[in-house]
Amino acid sequence: MCGIVGIINSENPSDSRSIIKQMVATLNHRGPDEFGIYFSVRACLGHTRLSIIDLSTGSQPIHNEDKTMWIIYNGEVFNYPELRKLLESKGHRFYTTSDTEVILHGYEEFGEQVLSHLNGQFAFAIWHKPSNELFLARDRLGIRPVFYALHKNELIFASEIKAILAHPNMSAEIDPFALSQIFTFWTTLYPRTAFKNIRELPPGHFLRFKNNNLKIQRYWQLSFPDIGDYDDQPLSFWSEQLRELLIDAAIIRLRADVPVGAYLSGGLDSSVITAIIHNYTQNRMNTFSISFAEKAFDESSYQHVMSKHLGTEHNDQPIANQTIADNFPRTIWHTEKPVLRTSPVPMMQLSELVRKHHFKVVLTGEGSDEILGGYNIFKETMVRRFWAKSPSSTARPMLLQKLYPYLAVSSKQVQLFTQRFFSHRLLETDHPTYSHFIRWRNYEKIIQFLSPEMKAMVENYDPVAEYVDTLPANFHAWHPFCKAQYIEIDLFMAGYLLSSQGDRMGMANSVEGRFPFLDHRLVEFCSRIPVKYKLRGLNEKFILKHTFNDLLPALIVRRSKQPYRAPISQCFYSENNNSYLNNLFVDDKNTWSLFSRHAVKHLLNKWKSTNGRLSSETDNMAFIAILSTALLQDIFVGKNMITSRNSVSAPYNIVIEDD
C-alpha cells in the first residue's frame, strides 16, 4: 500500500515543490520504500511507495505513452493481469508490469467507466495535462482513504489528513458536529471529518476538479432486493456460488511479488480464508494473531487449534493492558479521529509483529460479519421486532438470553434492567434506523460530557436525522435484516472497521491488509442471498458455516461468536497513572475547551474508585471518547505532533516538467 498527495492550481507553484515534499514526508509510514514527485505549473503530485507489485519498474508517478496523463495510486487492483491483456488488445503499450499503469491506460480507454472494471481496493489521482483536470477516485467499499480540502482556488488532497495539515495554508480545528456524529456512529458522516474544512471522498465516489470547479459523483452503491423479490433457489445453489466466489476472491488476493501472510483470530472468518489458501493453493501460510493477558478477551486457544489443523507457521503478539495505554496516543495520531474503543491499539501491535517477520501483506476475514450477518446487532433487531409484535409478552424478551448468555445467570434485578434497556423505542419498527436504536443511545450519555460552549453548538443538531436523509430511495422496501446490514456496512464498517482498525493500523507499520470477503463481486452476491440462509433461527452466518464446514475443525464451526474486543478503561489505571493522562486532564486547558471539567472529573473519580475498571458500557465508551478526543486536540490542534516510527530515508524519483 502507499500514500498519495497533491496540490492542484497552486497559488505559488515554486513554493509547492517544497510543500509537496513536506506532505509526502508525513506519510512515509504508508510507503517507506520510495518517494516520487511530479511537478508542473498547475499540478504537483507526490507518492510514497510500499512496493508489492512490480518491485523494479513500478515507481510512481507513472505516465501514459505521450506523458499527457500522470497517475499516483494507493492500493491494489487484483484483476490487473486480465485488464492488461484487454488493453493491450486495444493497442495500449506498457513500460512497467505494475497494476498502476493498468489503471492509467484503463482511464485512457474507458474514462470514468474504468472504475467498473477494477476489482480491488484503491484511491488514485490522474492528472490530465491538456485539459488541466484532476480525476480522483476511491474504491467501492472505502478500504483505502483519501481526503481533500479547498483553499481559495487550490485543491489539496492526500491519503491522510496529517499530510493536508502539512500544507502551510491549512490548520486543524475540531468540528463539534463531527464529535456529535462520532459519539453516535463511531465515525463521521461523509464528507465530514473530525476537522473543519477537511473532507473525505466517500467510498464508491469519484471527484473531478477543473477550472476551479469541483464535482463529486457516485459510481457504485450497495443495494438489496425488495423484500418480495428474492430468487427462491435452494441452499445448495447459494452455497455453491458462495464457495466459488470466495475461493477466487482469496486466490487473486495472493497476487504479489512479496510473501503474503494471514491474520488468524480463531474466529470463523479468518479461519475460512486461511483454510482456503491451505486447500486450494500451494502457499505455505504464515499466520499472525494477538492474545490478551485478560482471559475474557483472549481467543488464543482457538487460534492454536486452527493453526495446528492447517500446519501454519504461527506467530502470536501478547497484549498487556499497559501496552494499550502506552500506544494509545500514537494510535490516535494514526486514526486522526476520536475512537470509542481501545481495539485499534492491538491491531497496530499486530501489524508491527507482521512487519518484524518481514511481511508486507496479510489476508484477513474483515467484512464477513457485515455481508453475511454475523453481529449480534442483526439478531437483536430481529428479536426486538418479534417482541414488538407482542410487547406485553414476558417470554419473547427472554430470547435475548440466547444472544447474551450472561443474562440467564444474572439476578432478577439485572434481568429486569436489561429488559427495560432493550425495550427502548421498541414499537418504532417503521423507523429506518430501528436496528441501531440501542447502540446509538450511547450518544445521549457521552454528549453530556461536552463543555457548555460545545454542547450549545450541537444541542439542536440530530445526526441520525441527517443520516436518514442519505439512505437509498428504495431502502424502505428491503427486509429489516438487510436494512441493518446496509447501515452497518455504510457506517461502522467503512468509517470505523476499515479505517481506525484497518487501513490506519496496518499502515502504521507499512503493512497492507487484503479482504477477500470485500471483493465487490462477493458483496453484491451476498446481498441477494435470502435472509433465511444468513440467519437460521439465531444461528448467524449459517450459509458460511454450511459451505466451508468440510475445511474447518468442528470446534471452530460450532463455537459461539466472540466479537473482537480489547480491555478498555482498566488499561490506563496504575499507581502512578500515565503521564499523558495527567497532562490532558489536569494541566491542559485545551481539553476544557471541549469538555466539562466537572463532568469529566466525576467520571475520573468513579474510574479511580473502581481501580480503573468502570463497569458500565457507556462509562467505558465515554472515558475513551474523552481521552481520544483530548489527544486528537493535543496532537493536531496543539501541534504536539507525534512522528512516524519509519525514518524518511527512501530515494526520491522526481519528475519536473516545465509547462
Q: What is the pLDDT of residues 614-627, one digit of tens each?
A: 988 899 999 999 99
Q: Which residue has the cell 512479496?
A: 258
Sign of the Cα torsion 386, 391, 397, 400 reads positive
CATH architecture of 249-372+487-558: 3-Layer(aba) Sandwich (3.40)
CA pair distance 16, 244, nearest whole angstrom: 49
Reported confidence tier of residue 82, pLDDT bands at 50, 70, 90 = very high
Range scoring the smallest mean pLDDT among 8-12, 57-61, 254-258: 8-12
Q: What percent of the chain has pLDDT over 90?
A: 82
CA pair distance 653, 35, nearest whole angstrom: 6
CA pair distance 115, 133, nearest whole angstrom: 17
In sequence order, the 6+-apart residues with CB closer than 8 A to the CB of 350 are 263, 288, 289, 290, 317, 505
DSSP code of 549?
G
pLDDT > 70? residue 546 = yes
Mean pLDDT over each residue of the chain, to the nearest integer:
92
User: What is the pLDDT at residue 540?
Assistant: 96
pLDDT, tens digit (0-9, with 9 covering 90-100), for 457-493: 999 999 999 999 999 999 999 999 999 999 999 999 9
pLDDT > 80? residue 432 = yes
List 2, 482, 526, 571, catalytic entry? 2
Reported confidence tier of residue 640, pLDDT bands at 50, 70, 90 = confident
Give the three-state DSSP class for 159: coil
User: What is the pLDDT at residue 54?
Assistant: 76
User: What is the pLDDT at residue 583?
Assistant: 74
**Rama region for 336: left / alpha / beta (φ>0; ψ in -120 to 50; rest):** left
Longest dimension (CA), the chain: 78
pLDDT > 70? residue 404 = yes
CA pair distance 568, 341, nearest whole angstrom: 7
The DSSP annotation for 105-120 comes to HHHHHHGGGGGGG--E
Which CATH entry fits the domain spanning 3-172: 1.10.3720.10, 3.40.50.300, 3.60.20.10, 3.30.70.20? 3.60.20.10
The DSSP annotation for 369-395 comes to HHHHT-SHHHHHHHHHHHHHTSTT-SS
Which residue type occupies 570?
Q
Q: Phi/psi of residue 189, each to 5°? A: -90, 135
Range scoring the smallest mean pLDDT among 49-53, 108-112, 288-292, 449-453: 49-53
- Pairs from 592-595 (Cβ < 8 Å, separation ≥ 24): 592/451, 593/451, 593/453, 593/454, 593/633, 594/174, 594/179, 594/450, 594/451, 594/454, 594/629, 594/630, 594/633, 595/449, 595/450, 595/451, 595/454, 595/626, 595/629, 595/630
CA pair distance 8, 13, nearest whole angstrom: 9
In sequence order, the 6+-apart residues with CB closer than 8 A to the CB of 424 are 437, 438, 441
User: Per-residue pLDDT averaged across 160-174, rounded?
Assistant: 96
In sequence order, the 6+-apart residues with CB closer than 8 A to the CB of 69 are 63, 104, 107, 108, 126, 127, 128, 129
Burial 148-168 (b: 16+ CB within 10 A, else e): bbbbeebbbbbbbbbbbbbbe
pLDDT, tens digit (0-9, with 9 covering 90-100), for 501-540: 999 999 999 999 999 999 999 999 999 999 999 999 999 9
Reported confidence tier of residue 646, pLDDT bands at 50, 70, 90 = low
The verdict on whether omega for the bond into residue 191 sits within 30 degrees of 0, i.e. cis, is yes
User: Per-residue pLDDT averaged across 383-412, rounded?
Assistant: 84
User: What is the pLDDT at residue 408?
Assistant: 60
In sequence order, the 6+-apart residues with CB closer than 8 A to the CB of 466 are 189
Going by C-alpha positions, the residue among 267, 352, 331 that lies closest to residue 552 is 267
CA pair distance 190, 482, nearest whole angstrom: 21
User: Per-residue pLDDT averaged across 231-254, rounded?
Assistant: 97
Going by C-alpha positions, the residue among 16, 60, 22 that lies closest to residue 39 is 16
pLDDT > 90? residue 420 = no
Identify the burial level of 437 via C-beta atoms within 10 angstroms of its C-beta, where 0-12 means exposed, 13-18 middle and 19 or more buried.
Answer: middle
Range scoring the smallest mean pLDDT among 15-19, 30-34, 350-354: 15-19
Question: With contact defined as beta carbons under 8 Å apart, do 525 and 241 qualify?
Answer: yes
For residue 308, count other CB atoms closer than 10 A to its CB: 11
User: What is the pLDDT at residue 16?
Assistant: 85
CB-hemisphere CA count at 13 Å for 315? 19
pLDDT > 90? residue 544 = yes
User: What is the pLDDT at residue 412?
Assistant: 76
pLDDT, tens digit (0-9, with 9 covering 90-100), for 181-236: 999 999 999 999 999 999 999 999 999 999 999 999 999 999 999 998 999 999 99
User: What is the pLDDT at residue 340?
Assistant: 96
CA pair distance 510, 358, nearest whole angstrom: 11
CA distances in angstroms from 53 to 2, 58, 274, 582, 650, listed in the order given: 12, 7, 22, 46, 17
Q: What is the dihedral angle through the alpha carbons of 163, 166, 167, 168, rounded to the nearest 10 degrees?
A: 170
Active site residue 2: yes
User: Per-residue pLDDT averaged across 578-601, rounded?
Assistant: 80
pLDDT > 70? residue 84 = yes
For residue 248, count other CB atoms closer than 10 A to its CB: 18
User: What is the pLDDT at residue 406?
Assistant: 63
pLDDT, tens digit (0-9, with 9 covering 90-100), for 99-150: 999 999 999 999 999 999 999 999 999 999 999 999 999 999 999 999 999 9
CA pair distance 206, 192, nearest whole angstrom: 16
User: What is the pLDDT at residue 579?
Assistant: 66
DSSP code of 492?
I
Give the three-state DSSP class for 146: coil
Reported confidence tier of residue 346, pLDDT bands at 50, 70, 90 = very high
In sequence order, the 6+-apart residues with CB closer than 8 A to the CB of 212 are 9, 153
Question: With contact defined as beta carbons under 8 Å apart, do 271 and 312 qualify?
Answer: no
Q: Which residue has the higher pLDDT, 525 or 575?
A: 525
pLDDT > 90? residue 644 = no
Which residue type occupies 503?
D
User: What is the pLDDT at residue 530?
Assistant: 98
Per mean pLDDT, which of 306-320, 402-416, 557-571, 586-600 is the most reliable?
Answer: 306-320
Pull the grid cell for residue 52.
Answer: 508489492
pLDDT > 90? residue 402 = no
Q: Where are the domains of the chain?
A: 3-172, 249-372+487-558, 376-478, 569-637
Question: Which contiguous run of DSSP H or E holds residue 134?
Answer: strand 133-138
User: What is the pLDDT at residue 41?
Assistant: 87
pLDDT > 80? residue 584 = no
The verdict on whether omega for the bond into residue 452 sits within 30 degrees of 0, i.e. cis, is no
